[in-house]
A and B are shown apart, each in its own frame.
Chain A
Amino acid sequence: MPLNRNQIAWRIAQEIEDGNYVNLGIGMPELVANYIPENREIIFHSENGILGMGPQPEKSEEDGDLINAGKKPVTLLTGGSYFNHTDSFAMVRGGHIDLCVLGAFQISKNGDLANWATLDNSKPPGVGGAMDLAVGAKSIFVMTEHCTKDGTPKIMEECSYPLTGQGVVNTIFTDLAVIDITSEGLKVREKINEISFMELQNKTGAPLIESDIKELSPPVL
């Protein structure tokens, strides 16, 4: 079975190292926070000025002045801090954030990321902090479905949508596989057992490298 979103989030969470400063992109990547293994201390950064961001509060505890980058109410963990936007993005661009998990419309074989605009010009574009994060975090993980709803591969030779950053992605986590972007190309590290390498290749718009592929098998979530 292809992974559901919680399972992709679980898989990414296993990859996050103890002591890491991590920024989770708005939307699907936020799920990753739910699956951090218990014996690891991870500090979450929110680009609107929080380090040590905690989970969503009870409704009665919500505070309009304490929100995350997706403008949802959050909490502050003991030891957390607040700071202004300039300092927050100094953390981002200055290489102080260990890892950022972002969603994607498209990813190219050399790690270009497109996740802020499509080719539809009728709606106003909006970039937020995506370009700063893409270029600034030490590591970029992409969390995405392997293909779009109509089955078009999201991993391709070159992105057709406007880029967020060039050559920025390190690893792609999809519902079918874990793929590292290396100097040799797209290396499949893990895949689900239900599909063959050839089937995975057919769902991918750029050549994959097959070498010592492990099974991608998260728990039922």
Chain B
Amino acid sequence: MRDKVVQVLEIKMIDKRVNNFEEALQGIADSSTVLLGGFGQAGSPVELIEALIDQGATNLTVVSNNAGEGEFGLAALMKAGRIRKVICSYPRSSGSFIFEELYESGKIELEIVPQGTLSERMRAAGAGIGGFFTPTSAGTLLSQDKEVRQIDGKDYVFEKPLKADVALIKAHTADRWGNLTYNKSARNFGPAMAMAADLTIAQVQEITNLGEIDPEHVVTPGIFVNRVLEVKLEN
């Protein structure tokens, strides 16, 4: 027994957990396109977005269903002057006064995309699809500069994939492989955004041990996620 050489193999474990906001947001560059999860406040990664103010990246193009409300989260990032352009479906929620001020004074660019198209464009980017034809917006102002094709007698508008440098999303539970589950209607854009960005960062309520999320219940498989940060929030 004593003669036997015991070879200790160092197994490099996949570990997407990060310890703090600084590690979570490391490397986000100026002029990045950043996807922000959430529909209104449900699923909005408010704490990650606010940490991005300290991180310092600026001249950002932000993709988000809404344009922020109050003076927290996305609205705070806007107020800090870090956003050049917003791509969203509905910027007019009550309480979006910071966006409205910036828009009306010409300090922020706006691109309106129908909600289903917005989500599908990100899914297409994540799925390696070069674009798709949708009936949504045919014959409206929003398809004015786009290719329209008649398929089986119906007009369809060509939409391109929407790829991003970074996605900041909020989920409920993660493990060290980056598998995610969500909570109720806070799931919304999370799964599409996670797959559409080169760097996907999720803030979660809880990180559990590998194997504790039932494989049948994983909503976003860890392959689409790069970093997970536990941010415990009071309900």
A residues lining the B interface (CB < 8 Å): 46-50, 63-67, 71, 76, 82-86, 88-89, 92-93, 117, 122-132, 135-136, 162-166
Q: Which of B110, B114, B118 contacts A124 (CB 8 A)?
A: B110
A85 touches B185 (CB 8 A): no
Most buried by A among B103, B104, B182, B186: B186
Residue tally, chain B, CB below 8 Å to A: 49
Q: Which of A46, A86, A132 contacts B136 (CB 8 A)?
A: A132
CB of A115, distance to nearest CB on chain B (Å):
11
Given A86-B122, A136-B136, 16 other A-B residues pairs in contact with their CB atoms under 8 A: A64-B186, A65-B184, A71-B42, A84-B119, A84-B190, A84-B192, A85-B189, A89-B115, A92-B116, A93-B116, A93-B136, A122-B104, A124-B91, A127-B90, A131-B114, A135-B137
Q: Which residues of A contact B122 (CB under 8 A)?
A: 86
Interface residues of B in 137-175 (CB under 8 A from A): 137-142, 155
Q: Which of A48, A76, A89, A162 contacts B39 (CB 8 A)?
A: A48
A164 to B186, CA, bound (A): 27
Determine if B107 is an interface residue (Cβ-Cβ < 8 Å): no
A86 touches B104 (CB 8 A): no
Q: Which residues of A contact B120 (CB under 8 A)?
A: 86, 89
A124 to B88, CA, bound (A): 11
Q: Which residues of A contact B91 (CB under 8 A)?
A: 124, 126
CB of A85, distance to nearest CB on chain B (Å):
4
B187 touches A84 (CB 8 A): yes
CB of A107, distance to nearest CB on chain B (Å):
15
Sample of 25 A–B contacts (CB below 8 Å): A48-B188, A49-B188, A50-B185, A63-B235, A64-B42, A65-B185, A71-B42, A82-B182, A82-B187, A84-B192, A84-B219, A85-B39, A86-B123, A89-B115, A123-B104, A124-B99, A126-B92, A129-B89, A131-B117, A132-B115, A132-B117, A136-B136, A163-B140, A164-B140, A166-B138
Q: Which residues of B contact A71 (CB under 8 A)?
A: 39-42, 93
Known: A65-B184, A135-B135. A127 touches B114 (CB 8 A): yes
Q: Which residues of A contact B73 (CB under 8 A)?
A: none
Q: Which residues of B contact A130 (CB under 8 A)?
A: 114
A82 to B185, CA, bound (A): 6
A92 to B134, CA, bound (A): 12
Interface residues of B in 183-220 (CB under 8 A from A): 183-192, 219
A125 to B140, CA, bound (A): 13
Known: A48-B188, A49-B185, A165-B139. A132 touches B90 (CB 8 A): no
Most buried by A among B110, B114, B187, B190: B114
A46 touches B185 (CB 8 A): yes
Known: A46-B185, A65-B185, A86-B123. A127 touches B138 (CB 8 A): no
A66 touches B185 (CB 8 A): yes
In the complex, the chain A residue whose C-beta lies closest to that of B233 is A64
Known: A82-B184, A124-B100, A132-B116. A162 touches B123 (CB 8 A): no
Q: Which of B89, B186, B191 contacts A126 (CB 8 A)?
A: B89
Q: Which residues of A contact B67 (CB under 8 A)?
A: 124
A86 touches B137 (CB 8 A): no
Interface residues of B in 67-91 (CB under 8 A from A): 67, 89-91
A39 to B170, CA, bound (A): 40
Q: Which residues of A contact B223 (CB under 8 A)?
A: none
CB of B141, distance to nearest CB on chain A (Å):
5
Known: A50-B185, A84-B188, A86-B191. A166 touches B100 (CB 8 A): no
Q: Which residues of A contact B114 (CB under 8 A)?
A: 127-132
B41 touches A64 (CB 8 A): yes
Known: A86-B191, A128-B115. A67 touches B42 (CB 8 A): yes
Known: A67-B42, A124-B92, A129-B114. A117 touches B192 (CB 8 A): no
In the complex, the chain B residue whose C-beta lies closest to that of A122 is B104
Q: Which residues of B contact A84 (CB under 8 A)?
A: 119, 187-192, 219
In the complex, the chain A residue whose C-beta lies closest to that of B191 is A84
Most buried by A among B100, B123, B184, B219: B184
